Structure 1
């Protein structure tokens, strides 16, 4: 008979342990406080296993960088001016290295606080002798950060096993559980997938659209964790977040400056809000066919030329990890009264490690959208929208949000956002440190194959951006495969079929992998082994094609919304002179996007040029794996939808 085994008995969860450091150059005070606090911790309920250690100021930085279990630091400001200055430096250092840890200040007089009031969580007098109170306060702050108000309430409700006489219709999975036809799906998905799928009828779980209790508390904790004024959870992905922000700022129209390579949700929002777009041309890397950020001078020029613009949208980091130097750009926009939305779909982890900062919020962005599921531990579609706008109108924003959000959100997604935030708040620094170590190992081992090489920042940044201080998120690892003799698609298939490895994406001469919180040493070992094997079997005859630059973005003949909703007709894109004759000069009614790179060559309202027609025809010729989104196929013949004359 098979025996049911509790997996936690085989692989028990690691014990929670928290280190709290007291940084002081007064060894008498430090030793007395640490001894007393550890004695107090031993006598009290201590679920986090908090232990106190003393460190002098000169060694505090090493502790901040190396001790992953560090959750708080008490900084002694001493009794003189020198001590206050040292404390100020150490407090700033703590915030710059570990954004999440709690900081407490020990001072002897009010003037010790000058310039530090906003930078610590609690204040203790140097003569304090009530160590019970100090311990309880320190523990309370850490426990608050470690709480998951929504996820805990959802779990508690499920374990109470209430009878469900409300939606959804599967009623906690009971409609499937004993079915001879679909019971296998219930067993495959697992009990809790169904019994956590609840509805707004369960009032104890709050409302995502009008939160007042546990969801609001979870969002407040997220705002604190990510450095925002306010944070909103979304279960429709970052696509919805982008649309909500654009609707919030532009209302029923207005001019928007936007990166041509932005996510398609931004293009959709332009149509939905009858906006007038000013598209910024992305910069192509001529060797690898990777589109990078817009040149800073082009952004400044657009802001100068379009004084009536109300919003600018930038993507940072890009799919390939390239990051703008955002601070001067955002300051330039704000000086001209332009709000800034930064799509950080691929950079939700950035705030939690000093090697990745500053983030868009730190640089002054008004709105930041993040796909919490892409690099962190949330479920797919789970995203966050962070607000930094000092002029934020919350009432109007909630109405805009309600227009796009489902009234039946998936509660497990909300719980995953709560848990993903907790993970980053408690162990984000340590997790990312390990991820960055994996990146170093992967880069070294890949380069040693002699065939493959990892592209560094200087390889990926086009010459046109050389002076723009472009950064690179190292967790996006792009591998140059040019010397292998394989195309990116061929190598992607070989990795999958022969080694069971799925990469993130491929271009003509690169493959890309993501090193996330879920990357493990075993996965890393298998990836390195696979690349070594493929390097040993590299082909010497190659016919790789050079990356084909996108055609120039042509002029607009009308607003995208007018074109999209206008009466239209379909014209063949077949490779002949008739197609060119009939399409040239017409106005596109749809968005046409080749993938890769996923950047539109046409958007609604844009004039179709000869260059664009020939470019699309070439993509459709011969043996090509290029997908072109937005085309219409009638009996395998491609058509473009154009505005009817």
Structure 2
């Protein structure tokens, strides 16, 4: 039997233990030898012992049924216990316990036993009442527990919109374990009788408990404060839940306490119906989808269409003789719900006042923002909206150089003067990491020394990066605010929308950090720490400022924006995105300009299906995001383990670890890998708490240079064409596998099977290879794993586009529009005239964005000087797609005359001023 250390999560452990228990008990009945029978009995006993620690945190099958199974086994009733275990395992696997009572007696009949949840039609599943579990925290006897559950059960009514079962645990620690372990829990009832410590002693449960509360955090807590403290702690790990506090304390005592997620306080009463109604109302509030519901109702209305869109109500399709196949493929509802009108309660995205407004408010609550705005044309547009709303011509913006191209175009539109920040390079894998905080602070201090800090407007970073590198968001924001107290932060979280719903990931999201900072900056303790540091930094050098862990002033303004591609990592139709705002100055300074920018970039004919999917996607993550993200991480961790520990795969592939992708000095925890074949799993919590950068475990970067194929060839010719596996990110010698909330363990198993098959084929190929073929293979591998081109840094803007030579910001807008006049531009060939020009010492300046895919970000922007390093990198690129580069003409550059004319005009303007 596998040890606990072989499992990343308790959820996987529970599932596999039940399956193993079923198999072992079934085998006992068939076994004929005493020795093997005794071995199986020992295995079953061990499995029961393991499950006994876990099962108290789940409603099904329940500890009464579990203990009964165990007694049956001890009394030798193997057929009876085997029947019950098989039925329980099947119900857990199919989810049948969520929609009906599962009879566990051998004589019972379950007419629906063979109807798997997955085999039900979508219509049948939609008609089923959603199921959840309520956690009751109270240290009671078995008899009192049965009384509690009985009273809760008696409150249920046929007309209730949801169905739930109760789980009872005795202590605060057990409750924390339960909400981190049991994803079915949607509400917690905290009663006065709870105790502090758990009686369970289990390695994996201890890990969950450590992650829920900081060391010694609960020491000294008085018994009367256990209930409020539990509500506060659950708010930290699963803020989407509802808690209800039953207390004997006076209202005056409760009023001043931090009650976290507590929705209502009941004063020493046993009004179970009132509690029941509040539980249903709380879950119902998260289950609301105002716009989706309005769209459904609109589709049912008989209407006469006298506006644009012939496809509305499906009329142009149903009347057609040639496109009926489209109607058959999509079905009628999508067309019944299609309209260009804002009547019928469907609201306007540009001026929302009804269901869209309500849907955005619910999304704001779910993602922890102060305001949330929907977008139906992707995060590229979201980025441009935020930049245009906040940045004025001449403002200085610090930008992650390898961010998405929409940010660079946003700088052009806004007329920003851009300071590009270089990420640390990962030359061995032909990819960039992330921008070190020291680099950001260095640029801010240089601008401060030049007297330009008042013009610095925004810091723009990608979190997490395409390759999965995640910033320490709180540290970046606080230290930058210590230098520029009103700095605006735009965090591009296009690939990170799911992070809100994981306790580990949430702390590194923009909205959570902004809320935490707003709270902390108001405390007396923070004020005292800030004043003490200011004394220490009196007359300090820039180097000392760079080395110090800076503390933000108490009066700093928290101004954070995040843009998220909901469609990339959560449930939404393509191009469904959100803008989340947590800006203390939004109402007074930004609201009007934001509205104008939103109007500028948002279609007056938005796709209502996308809006509805954003609404439904928000509902999903509020009710089951924790479960889905947990399973997503589990799938990725299983993939890491399987590849890293497989002898054949190790010959040709390597899973890149945090140690490979993050330099040592940015990993204060010392964690190099999430899985080690010798030690098992590493707890992610510590590195996510402390390190400058961490690696998103859901992204598995696989080095494929050992196969002799470059990343692009491996993606297209091998994975896609041969095996139907789709990915969209490669580098010169890596491919990226991204798990998501839809990834299943079966999908992971298939990928491992494919990689093993590829490994076997390579073994056979090399076994049969001639000497020359082997030399050719080894040469390709060496070229991909040893001979790699160094990644170039941002060179600089040409002087014609810089206000001075003191600081590095450049006017990208002027450069961009200067290239609109063809007479200002010329074309130079990479291996010919461009190389000759650089060798002769001429300053050559790019007139276009040059964006190779991969890596997918600009290596040149308009106005940037082309360096020898950039030329060498471009010549070494072995990709077919380079946006902005014309293979027939070469690289588009500015003529010397155009640059000279612009320089003269700039000097004349400066002299006149």
Q: Is TM > 0.5 for Structure 1 vs Structure 2?
A: yes
- Contact kept, 8 Å, 1:236 with 1:382, in 2: the verdict is yes
1:495 and 2:734 matched: no
Rounded to whole Å, the distance in 2 between the matches of 1:89 and 1:366 is 29
Separation (CA, whole Å) in 2 of partners of 1:115 and 1:319: 44
**Per-residue deviation, residues 434-453 of structure 1 (Å, max 9, x unmatched):** 22221222122222133323
Task: Identify the residue that residue 815 of structure 2 maps to in structure 1.
Answer: 563
Distance in 1 separating the partners of 2:378 and 2:834: 38
CA distance in 2, matches of 1:193, 1:110: 52
Aligned pairs for 1:60-99 within 5 A: 60-76=175-191, 82-99=222-239
Distance 1:61 1:117 in 2: 17
5+ residue gaps, structure 1, are none
Is 2:830–2:891's contact at 8 Å kept on the other side of the alignment? no
Question: What SS does the aligned partner of 1:387 have?
Answer: strand
- 1:527–1:115 Cα change, 3 Å: farther
Q: Does 1:363 align with 2:604?
A: no
Name the SS for the 1:228 alignment partner.
coil
User: Which runs of structure 2 are paired with 1:157-556 in the superposition (5 Å)?
Assistant: 157-306=298-447, 307-308=453-454, 309-335=456-482, 336=484, 337-358=486-507, 359-364=509-514, 366-393=560-587, 394-447=591-644, 448=646, 449-451=649-651, 452-463=653-664, 465-467=666-668, 469-492=692-715, 493-538=717-762, 541-542=777-778, 543=780, 544-545=783-784, 546-556=787-797
Q: Distance in 1 between matches of 2:760 and 2:302?
A: 57
Unaligned runs of 5+ in 2: 1-118, 196-220, 448-452, 515-558, 669-690, 767-776, 802-810, 900-913
Residues paired across the two proteins, number: 634
Change in Cα spacing, 1:294 to 1:39, as seen in structure 2 (3 Å) is same
Structure 1: how far apart are the matches of 2:751 and 2:826? 46
Moved more, 380-389 or 155-164: 155-164
Contact residue 105 and residue 120 of structure 1 kept, 8 A: no
Q: Corresponding residue for 1:101? A: 241
Shift of 1:56: 1.2
* Contact 2:830–2:871 under 8 Å retained in 1: no
Aligned equivalents of 2:641 and 2:831: distance in 1?
50
Distance 1:471 1:115 in 2: 37
What is the RMSD of the two structures over their aligned residues, measured on CA atoms?
Answer: 2.6
Give 2:552's aligned residue: none
Q: 1:39 is matched with which residue?
A: 154
SS at match of 1:591: coil
Aligned-pair CA distance for 1:44: 6.0
2:843 to 585, 595, 598: 585
Is contact 1:443-1:453 (8 Å) kept? no
Matched-pair contact (CA < 8 Å) for 1:166–1:201: no
2:409 is paired with a residue whose SS is: helix
Q: Would the aligned equivalents of 1:77 and 1:112 in 2 still touch at CA under 8 Å? A: no
Partner of 2:881: 627
2:136 paired residue among 4, 22, 32: 22
Question: Once the 2 structures are TM-superposed, how far is the Cα of residue 626 of structure 1 from its aligned partner?
Answer: 4.2
Residues 113 and 9 (structure 1), Cα distance of their counterparts in 2 relative to 1, 3 Å cut: closer
1:591 Cα offset (Å)? 1.1
Q: Deviations over 1:86-129 (max 9, x none)?
A: 22432233123323111222222125426534523422333224
For 1:30 and 1:128, the matched residues in 2 are separated by 17
Q: Alpha-carbon deviation of 1:507?
A: 1.9
Question: CA 1:491–1:617 in 2, change beyond 3 Å: closer, same or farther?
Answer: closer
C-alpha displacement at 1:21, in angstroms?
1.2
Segment drifting more, 52-61 vs 572-581: 572-581
CA contact (8 A) 1:292 1:462 kept: no
Partner of 1:146: 287
Of the candidates 159, 165, 173, which is equivalent to residue 51 of structure 1? Answer: 165
Per residue, is there more helix in 1 or in 2? 2
Following TM superposition, by how much is the alpha carbon of 1:252 offset from its aligned partner in structure 2, in angstroms? 3.4
- In structure 2, how many angstroms separate the alpha carbons of the residues matched to 1:355 and 1:124? 29
Per the TM alignment, residue 52 of structure 1 is displaced from its structure 2 partner at its CA by 2.9
1:372 is displaced (CA, Å) by: 0.2
Partners of 1:258 and 1:277 within 8 A in 2: yes
Residue 62 of structure 1: how far off its partner (Å) = 2.4
After superposition, what is the alpha-carbon deviation per residue over 1:207-256, rounded to whole angstroms, capped at 9, x for unaligned? 11111111111111111111111111111111111111112221334000
Task: Normalising by structure 1, report the TM-score.
Answer: 0.92
Distance in 1, Cα, partners of 2:865 & 2:708: 39
| Residue 572 (structure 1) shift | 2.5
| Deviation digits for residues 338-359 of structure 1 (CA, Å, limit 9, x no counterpart) | 1111000000000101232312
